[in-house]
């Protein structure tokens, strides 16, 4: 009885594997792999298929896409057909035929808004849920399509991968093989980068328009908002700055938590391509610069990381802090400022702290992208500023002095 159960289980396992392989073969792990296989198959029966797909060239559609195409890598042919409607519905699909001219191997969906707004013909398909299966086809020149793989997965398979995802051209399809003299993979990639750049620019304009509907962004663009904790500056969704202005501060006790969040006119990757962020702190006639400190010694180099995130955003996703007393985190550049100014600071006085966020490239601050000033009051209460900064063991100034003394 036990033997029979075991045999049944093994048989079922083979059956499952067999079924999976069949499905995989039908869908193809990726278009790229299937195209390679397809190319080899086609070479064997070249004469027939050429004749089969040649008929596609006589078809006309409003997009001027349909026709017989050739693959750059395999030099094999295939049929492409633009299908506007099916079963009485507008579908705007691109059918790709590799083997049977009557049954499309893939049905790509058109990203209609890209065509409507920018006349860019982009089609995509998710053969499976895996990110590696994603295939995109973009017309880079009349009669020339770049075949693209992506590196992102999505929850919604009705959409293409987002614009900020990495797109790699893996093949080129052209109606005329002489077009490959111009359109190799590198060139198609360069043109695709340009197209994506255009779309990103348009998407950024749209995002900015949307952001301007938020009072916080509208009032603080080019400025820095300050708060007593990071959580009041955070928000849950991309490009929805729902933080409340009522929680922002313009004055704080020196030594207490100051969280800050800059809002930019444009994402840094657009306003200053190739640059990253730098921060300078100015108070009581002294100034410290994160990048300058980072490059000055290994102590600062190890404790001041480069700010390379958020280059594609209109604001920092995670607010930064000068000092955060709740988790004992501080910016070493701000601590250095406190160390440098400690002799000038007196109880009962208020000091303006100016923070500037810079676009930084090749060892220099290029342009300021946001700035703000907060007033820091040296509290007369000995348990506040004095304790926070100068307590011999846990005081912030004592800590930075200890680190630098090592």
Partner 1 sequence: MVITCIVFCSAKAQKSQNEILQQFESGKYTVYKVTDKEKFEKIKKTWPVEITKVRDDVSQVLVKRSGILDELFKPDVPGYPAYFAYKTYRLSFMKDYAVYYSWNGKQQATTKYILVKPGGDFGASWEVTNKNVATYATATFKNQTGARANVKQAKAKMVEAERKANSLEGKQVSKIEIQLVEEPSKVGHFSEAIHYGVIATLKDGTKRKTKNLKGKLPWDDFKLSHQGCSNTIDIVRVDEDATQIPEDKLVLKVTSVYHPSLKAIKNINMTNDVAIKVNQNGFWGYEREKHMAVSQGMDGQHAGRADNLTVKVKTVTHKQTGKKINKIEIFNTTKNKIIARYKLTPETQLIINAIGGQGMNGFDGTSSRPNGGNGGYGGAGGNVTFIKDPSVTKHNIIINTSGGKGGKGGSPKYSTASRGRNGTAGNNGNTIKQTKKVTLNF
User: Interface with partner 1 by CB under 8 A: which residues?
Assistant: 181-184, 186-187, 190-191, 194, 197, 219, 223, 245-246, 248-251, 273-274, 276, 306, 308, 350, 361-364, 373-375, 381
Alpha-carbon span 256 to 387, nearest angstrom: 11
Residue 358's DSSP bridge partners are: 278, 368
User: Within a 10 A sphere around the Cβ of 151, how many other Cβ atoms?
Assistant: 12
Which C-beta is closer to partner 1: that of 185 or that of 404?
185
Helices marked H in 152-281 — which ranges?
185-211, 215-220, 268-271
Nearer to partner 1, 105 or 189 (CB): 189
DSSP label of 308: -
**Nearest distance from C-beta of residue 363 to partner 1, angstroms:** 6
CB of 23 to partner 1, least distance (A): 30
**1 vs 382, which CB is nearer to partner 1?**
382
Name the packing angle between helices 396-405 and 332-341 (round to 10°): 100
CB of 181 vs partner 1, minimal distance in Å:
7
Which lies closer to partner 1 via its Cβ, residue 239 or residue 373? 373
Instruction: Record the tokens describing residue 176, joined without a space.
Output: 């005329």
Q: Hey, how many other C-beta atoms are within 10 angstroms of the C-beta on 384?
A: 17
Q: Which is nearer to partner 1, 59 or 269 (CB)?
A: 269
Task: State the nearest-atom distance from the C-beta of 326 to partner 1, in Å.
Answer: 10
By C-beta, is 161 or 221 nearer to partner 1? 221
Output DSSP code: residue 371.
E
- Measured from the CB atom, is 106 or 145 closer to partner 1? 145
Instruction: Compute the distance between CA of residue 63 and CA of residue 68 in angstroms, rounded to an integer.
Output: 15
What gap in Å lies between CA 116 and CA 120, rounded to an integer? 8
CB contact at 8 A, 30 and 38: no
Give the alpha-carbon dihedral of 291, 279, 237, 269, to 10 degrees: -60
Residue 314 CB, nearest distance to partner 1 (Å)?
A: 19
Query: Rounded to the nearest whole angstrom, what is the least distance from the CB of residue 405 to partner 1 in the complex?
Result: 27
Least distance in Å: CB of 312 to partner 1?
Answer: 12
């Amino acid at each position: 009885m036990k033997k029979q159960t075991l045999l049944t289980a093994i048989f079922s396992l083979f059956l499952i594997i067999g079924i999976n392989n069949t499905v995989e073969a039908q869908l193809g792990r990726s278009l790229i792999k299937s195209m390679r296989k397809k190319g080899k198959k086609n070479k064997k029966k070249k004469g027939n298929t050429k004749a089969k797909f040649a008929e596609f060239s006589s078809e006309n559609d409003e997009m001027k896409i349909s026709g017989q195409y050739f693959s750059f890598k395999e030099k094999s042919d295939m049929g492409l057909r633009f299908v506007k409607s099916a079963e009485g519905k507008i579908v705007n699909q691109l059918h790709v035929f590799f083997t049977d001219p009557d049954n499309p191997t893939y049905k790509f969906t058109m990203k209609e808004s890209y065509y409507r707004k920018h006349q860019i013909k982009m089609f995509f398909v998710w053969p499976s849920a895996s990110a590696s299966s994603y295939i995109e086809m973009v017309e880079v020149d009349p009669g020339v399509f770049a075949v693209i793989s992506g590196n992102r997965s999505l929850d919604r398979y009705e959409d293409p991968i987002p614009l900020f995802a990495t797109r790699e051209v893996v093949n080129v399809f052209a109606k005329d093989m002489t077009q490959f003299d111009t359109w190799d993979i590198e060139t198609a990639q360069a043109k695709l980068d340009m197209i994506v750049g255009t779309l990103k620019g348009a998407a950024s304009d749209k995002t900015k328009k949307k952001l301007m509907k938020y009072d916080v962004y509208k009032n603080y663009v080019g400025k820095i908002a300050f708060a007593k904790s990071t959580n009041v500056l955070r928000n849950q969704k991309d490009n929805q700055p729902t933080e409340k202005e009522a929680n922002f501060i313009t004055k704080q006790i020196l030594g207490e938590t100051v969280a800050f969040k800059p809002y930019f006119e444009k994402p840094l990757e657009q306003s200053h391509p190739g640059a990253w962020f730098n921060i300078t702190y100015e108070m009581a006639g002294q100034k410290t610069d994160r990048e300058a400190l980072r490059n000055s010694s290994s102590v600062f180099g190890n404790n001041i990381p480069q700010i390379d995130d958020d280059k594609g955003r209109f604001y920092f996703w995670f607010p930064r802090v000068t000092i955060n007393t709740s988790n004992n985190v501080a910016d070493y550049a701000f601590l250095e400022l406190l160390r440098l100014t400690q002799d000038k600071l007196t109880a009962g006085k208020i000091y303006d702290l100016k923070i500037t966020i810079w676009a930084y490239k090749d060892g220099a601050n290029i342009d300021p992208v946001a700035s703000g000033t907060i007033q820091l009051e040296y509290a007369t209460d000995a348990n506040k500023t004095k304790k926070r900064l100068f307590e011999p063991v846990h005081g912030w100034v004592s800590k930075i002095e200890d680190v630098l003394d090592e």
